[in-house]
Structure 1
Amino acid sequence: MRKFIFSIIGSIAILSCSDGDLQIETIDFDSVSVQFCSNPVGNAKNLFFKINENEALILELQNGALNNGVAGDTVITESTVPSQSQVTYRVFSDGVNKEYFCDDIPVVNPTVLDEVVAEDGMVIIETMLAENDTTRYVHNISLSGISFVTGNGERITNLAINEFGEVNTVVPD
């Protein structure tokens, strides 16, 4: 009887062990600077990313989301996620850098361990003419209500990614 009980306890212990799936507890990129491969433009899709060691938060803005506005006015543009813009969170096997996103030939390492695409939310872009510089616009990008759901159906609730960052575009001639 004693062997039977120990074998049941052992079986439960083996079955309850983690299968190696990553558990994403928090996504925090507020203190990380926004990066991009080529200078942002107002009339195209733009790819921005934030890197935090072996994690990345990737924002692909829809075509024309960086509105170049009217001199003297502040313009607010909203882009819904995922129907217009995409927000993706990735965890890598090792530290990642800008070249991972910008090289013409994709790098082999580090590898993506987990990727979660936002299922809901809004990208809000506030555009204004730069102070003391009439040749560029400043775009403050914020994320609102971004909702990630993992492959296991778990919702990531501890998000600290409200302020995505600031980028500049050139005022068109």
Structure 2
Amino acid sequence: MKRISSILILLLLITACDDGRLTVDTIDFSDVPAQKCSDKDLIYKIKDNIMLFIEIPGTTFIEDQTLDGVPIEVPISGTVKVTYRKYASTVSANNICGAAPDVTPNLVEQWTATSGIIQITSTAIKTTNASNNSTKITGYTYNINFKNITFQKPNGSQQYDNFPFGNYTKPIANSLTFGFNQQVDKSTCSGSDKIYDFSGGEVFTLDVADFPTLFANEPTTTPRTVLINATNKLSYRLYSGVITNDYFCATTIPATPTLIQQWNAVDGIEATSGIIEVTTTTLGAGFQHTINLKKVTLKKGNSDFYLGDNYPFGTLITNP
């Protein structure tokens, strides 16, 4: 009897030592980049014969930064899925991507997430131009983490309070090329104080409150300056099609092309940033106003980029 009791106790101890941790807990995906299927909304990581993937709408990965401590949160559901698989031998994207995924090698085991939250923290990827210190957003990195996720596996279930998936990187859909010709004189509409520049679907608009003072018809000895603020505005817009001069001066703004993005300049700080600078010289019977933007930052949502230490907006010709 004592012998039987000892065996039962030993079995209980062995069972207690098995806390149900999934084998995936020991797998290191840190050196494996996250990829996306080209023809479906599926983000995956593959290492040898194992894979971990997420089925999630592509619109979840917005082109904007998240605020510190405020990630995007998406509940796991019937349409948002997290799956871990183990195969008999090495696998590839062909086993999950495409209309008819490969059926070989054989699937050995699968764990499906039944609940939990997918947390996504996004950060802008920027490049810097060394000549003027301007920056450009080329894409976004999305750090993905599973919170309180429960996997259903063949022999039971397992919950993880925190399960890092890693980073997924995506280039931006519409690159801001800034293809403006800075040598071309800028325009205004009759009766309007807005100065605009356009190239293709790109538009740069400068709207100054005290237009007559900043663009006075007299040569300057020192540049005139104003700060970007609520009344002195600078905006960059990207449209779905080509913009023409008629777009700006029409009584009713045309319905097409449509606005895709708008970036507004951040308010300036005296002698520090966000400065509109104008230098005026005579030009025949008129005047040429050369406009430079000093240390201007443009922002959309939580994302921003630096226009540079000095950005030549161009020239405006006026006549007395």
| Band the TM-score falls in, shorter-chain normalisation | 0.7 to 0.9
Instruction: Kindly provide the CA deviation profile for residues 91-145 of structure 1, in whole angstroms up to 9, marking residues without a partner as x.
Output: 1111111111111121000111111110131111101222xx2x31211111111
1:31 match: 181
The answer for unaligned runs of 5 or more in structure 1 is 40-44
Matched, 1:129 2:301: no
Whole-Å separation in 2 of the counterparts to 1:118 and 1:61: 13
Choose which of 221, 238, 251 in structure 2 pairs with 1:104. Answer: 251
Matched, 1:170 2:319: yes
Q: Aligned pair in 2 of structure 1 residues 29, 58: CA closer, same or farther (>3 Å)?
A: farther
* Number of aligned positions between the proteins: 156
Contact 1:69 1:75 in 2 (8 A): no
Q: Aligned pair in 2 of structure 1 residues 49, 38: CA closer, same or farther (>3 Å)?
A: same
Q: Determine helix, strand or coil for the equivalent of 1:100.
A: helix
Matched, 1:9 2:52: yes
Q: Determine helix, strand or coil for the equivalent of 2:246.
A: helix
2:90 match: none
Matched, 1:51 2:51: no
Q: Aligned pair in 2 of structure 1 residues 27, 61: CA closer, same or farther (>3 Å)?
A: farther
Q: Aligned pair in 2 of structure 1 residues 26, 105: CA closer, same or farther (>3 Å)?
A: closer
Highest relative contact order (Cα 8 Å, sep 6+), 1 or 2?
A: 1
Choose which of 76, 82, 88 in structure 1 pairs with 2:229. Answer: 82
Deviation at 1:17, TM superposition (A): 6.7
Whole-Å separation in 1 of the counterparts to 2:223 and 2:309: 22
Q: TM-score, normalised by structure 1?
A: 0.73
One-letter identity of the residue aligned with 2:246? E
Alignment of 1:107-118 (within 5 A): 107-118=254-265
Deviation at 1:62, TM superposition (A): 2.3
The answer to which of 28-37 and 108-117 deviates more is 28-37
Q: Determine helix, strand or coil for the equivalent of 1:94.
A: coil
One-letter identity of the residue aligned with 1:109? T
Whole-Å separation in 1 of the counterparts to 2:204 and 2:277: 16
Contact 1:89 1:116 in 2 (8 A): yes
One-letter identity of the residue aligned with 1:48? I
2:140 match: none
Deviation at 1:28, TM superposition (A): 2.4
Choose which of 38, 47, 60 in structure 1 pairs with 2:207. Answer: 60
Deviation at 1:25, TM superposition (A): 5.5
Q: Which has the higher Rg, Structure 1 or Structure 2?
A: 2
One-letter identity of the residue aligned with 1:35? S
Whole-Å separation in 1 of the counterparts to 2:57 and 2:251: 44
Choose which of 298, 302, 311 in structure 2 pairs with 1:148. Answer: 298
Q: Percent identity?
A: 17
Q: TM-score, normalised by structure 2?
A: 0.42
Q: Aligned pair in 2 of structure 1 residues 17, 117: CA closer, same or farther (>3 Å)?
A: closer
Q: Aligned pair in 2 of structure 1 residues 138, 20: CA closer, same or farther (>3 Å)?
A: same
The answer for unaligned runs of 5 or more in structure 2 is 1-21, 24-44, 64-171, 268-273
Q: Determine helix, strand or coil for the equivalent of 1:50.
A: strand
Q: Determine helix, strand or coil for the equivalent of 1:101.
A: helix
The answer to which of 111-120 and 28-37 deviates more is 28-37
Deviation at 1:83, TM superposition (A): 3.9
Whole-Å separation in 2 of the counterparts to 1:24 and 1:122: 27
The answer to which of 46-55 and 17-26 deviates more is 17-26
The answer to which of 106-115 and 157-166 deviates more is 157-166
